[in-house]
Chain A
Amino acid sequence: MLPHVLKKSDLGAWVGALMAEQRVAGPVRRETAPNDGRELFGWDYLAEPGDLRLDYDVTVLGPKKFLWPPRQRLVSYRLGGDPKPEPILEHEPQVLLGVHPCDITAIGTLDAAFGKDIPDPHYLARRADTVLVGIDCAGPCDEDTSFCLDMGSLYPESGYDMMLTDLGEAYFVETKTAKGQALVEAGKMKPAAKADLEARQAFTGKKRGAFRTKLPFEVKYLPEILDASYDSLVWEAIARQCFSCGACNTTCPTCYCFDVYEDVAMDLTKGCRVRRYDSCQLDPFATVAGGENFREHRWSRLRHRMFRKGKFILEQTGRPGCVGCGRCERACVAHISIKETFVQIAGSR
C-alpha cells in the first residue's frame, strides 16, 4: 500500500470526517502541571477534532482502556426461577488515533493473551471493531523512566492499521491493512513524493540516534536473569518501599488479570456478571477459600509481578509482558522502577 502525506492544516478535517463515521479516541490535553507548567495528557474519546494532540508525551493510562475497559459487563441474567444467562458483547466501531509504538506493542500482547487457547470474545469483539492509528516517536517521551528500545517495542512491524510520522508541515501516512487504507480515503491525502520518502528516512535516522539502551544486557536474556534471581533477597529489599497499592498494575498497558463480581439491579429482578481490573499486588489476590494465601508476603507479590512482566507473559503469549513505557514507575508512590529492578537483578546474580 503506497504511502501518503497529510498536510497538518488538513488534519482537523480528516479527524472530523472520521468522527462522523465512528467514535475516535486520541491523546488530549488534560491540565497543566501546577509545579512546572508542563502539559499533562490523557486518552479520551475526542469531542472536537482540535482536541487531538499528536504531540503528546506520556499518559497515565494508555489506550488499553478502550479495548479492555476497567469494568466490563460479561453476562446478563434474570433473578428468580429462570435466569437465562446471556453474553453481553459491547462494541462499536472506533478509531484509536495517535497510539505510540510501545502501546501498539502492548495491544499485541493483549490480543495474544485474550486470543490464544480459549478466545475471549468480550475483548476480541472490541478489538475487531477498532482501527489502530499509530504516531511514531521522534525521541524518548520520558528519559528517566522509558526503556522501550531495550524492550523491543519501539519499532513495531505489525499490530497497527496505519502509522503517522510527523514530518514538520505534514504527516507521512503508511497503511498496513485494508482497515487503515479505508481511512486514507476520508482525508485530503496525497501520494507521498520522493522528498516525503526522504524526509521519512531522515526521521527514522534521527529516531535511531535519539534513543539509547538502558539495560546492561540484551532483553532476550531477561527471563534467564529473572530465573537466576528468584531466591535473591533483592525482592525483599525492593519491596521494603512497596505499599502494595497496585498502581503499577492499573497503569500497565499489558496487565490483563481481572476479578469477577455480580452487579444486581436494585429491584432484584436481574443482574449481570462484571469483570474489573485486578492487581496481583493486592493481598487477597492469591488467597483461597480455606484462608491460605499463597503469596502472602509483599515481596513475593512484587516478585511475581516482575516475573510476569519479564518472563511469564512472554512465555505464555510469545509477546512481551513489559514494553518499557515507564508508566508503572511514574505511577509508583514509592518510586519503584521496573527498569532499575531489571538492572539490579542482573547485577545481583
Chain B
Amino acid sequence: MTVSQAEIDIEKGAAAPSPYVPRMARIVAAEQMTETERFFRLEMEDGVPLGHQPGQFVGVTVFGLGEAPISICSSPTQGDAFELTVRSAGMVTGALMKHKQGDRLGIRGPFGNHFGYEAMKGQDVLFVAGGLGLAPTRSLIRYVLDGRKDYGQVTILVGAREPKLLLFRDELEAWTKRKDADCRVTVDRPDPSWKGNVGVITRLFRQVKVNAARTFAVIVGPPVMFKFTVLEALAGGIPEHRIICSLERHMKCGIGKCGHCQIRGTYVCRDGPVFTYEQVKRLREGI
C-alpha cells in the first residue's frame, strides 16, 4: 500500500488547546415554546462572540450531566448573542428544560459548515421546515430576511404535527404578514382553534409556484418528511445540487474524531451538517 506520511507535528499538537473544554455562556433569555421545546438566548461570558454562521451547531454542556449537540437557530445578523431551541430527548436536554435566565452553560463550537447563502444571493429561496427542523432553518431564514434585498423570491413552508407543537409562532405570524415573503404553515392534525392549512407539508409544496431554474430549496425535517419533500422539489424541476438539507447525528466531539456522526467517509460534524441532496444521496446511510 502506498502510505503517504501525513504531515503530523506531534510536539505542536501536544501543546494545542484542548478542543473538549467548553467555554462558559450565560442564558440571557429563556422561554418554553412547547411542552417539550425550550428556547434560549445565550451570551459568551468571556466577551468573545461565538462567531457562528447560519446552519452551524454547538455542543451544550450541563455540567455534571453531559453534552448534547444543538443547532443554532439564530442568524449572526441578530447580534453577538446566539439562540438555541432544545427539545427534551435525553438527560442533558431534559435538564435544560429547567434552565432559566441567568443560568450558565458550557458551550463548545460553533462546529460544522454552514448554509451556502453566498450562492443564494440573487436567487429564489424556498424553505421547507418540519417540526424541530425549523430551528436550524430559522438561522438562514432570519439571515435571508435581514438581507432581504439580496435575494429573489422567498417562500417559507412550515409544518408541524399539531398546532401546539409549532415553534416560533410569533415569528411565523410576522413572516406570514410580510409582503416580501410567502410564508405558509400547515399542521397534520388540527385542533378546534386552528384556522390554517391542514395536511402534510408536501401539500403546501404543491400550492406554491417555483421558478426551478433560479431556486434553492432548503429542506430540514425528520427523515420521512425529507424523502417526500425532496421528491416534490425534484418533481418541481429543482436540480439536486440546489436542494439543501441539514442532517441530524449525535456528535460527541464535533471535530471529526469520535466517529459517531460518520456516514461512509463523511463526518457530519466537520463536512456537514449542511449537505446538498446530490451529496446526501451518495451517502446512502444519510437519511
Contacts and interface: CB of A to CB of B under 8 A. Distances in A.
B252 interface: yes
A87 B14 CA distance: 13
Contacts of B262: 280, 304, 308, 312
Main secondary structure of the interface of A (DSSP, over half): mixed
B265 A258 contact: no
B196 interface: no
A124 B16 contact: yes
Contacts of A338: none
Interface in B1-33: 1-6, 8-22, 24
B18 A74 contact: yes
Contacts of A278: 258-260
Contacts of A203: none
Interface residues of A, number: 72
Contact of B6 (A129, A260, A318): A318
B58 to A, nearest CB: 15
B194 interface: no
A268 interface: yes
Interface stretch (B72-80, B87-95, B174-182, B185-193): B87-95
A115 B9 contact: yes
Interface string A109-140: 00111111111111011011100000000000
Contact of A124 (B5, B6, B13, B22): B13
A83 interface: yes
A158 B5 contact: yes
Given A122-B18, A152-B1, A258 B24 contact: no
A259 B263 contact: no
Which secondary structure characterizes the binding site on chain B?
A: loop
A330 interface: no
A6 B5 CA distance: 30
B22 A127 contact: no
Contacts of A222: 1
Nearest to A265: B64
A118 to B, nearest CB: 4
A127 B10 contact: yes
B258 A119 contact: no
B66 A262 contact: yes
B248 A87 contact: no
A230 B265 CA distance: 13
Nearest to B258: A258
A148 B66 CA distance: 40
Interface of B: 1-6, 8-22, 24, 61, 63-68, 87, 89-90, 93, 104, 106, 222-223, 248-250, 252-253, 255-260, 262-265, 270, 284-286
Given A256-B259, A258-B259, 17 more contacts: A79-B64, A85-B61, A89-B18, A111-B8, A117-B255, A118-B255, A119-B13, A120-B16, A122-B18, A125-B15, A220-B1, A220-B2, A287-B250, A289-B248, A294-B263, A304-B262, A314-B1
10 contacts: A115-B9, A115-B13, A118-B256, A122-B20, A289-B93, A290-B89, A294-B286, A314-B1, A316-B256, A318-B6
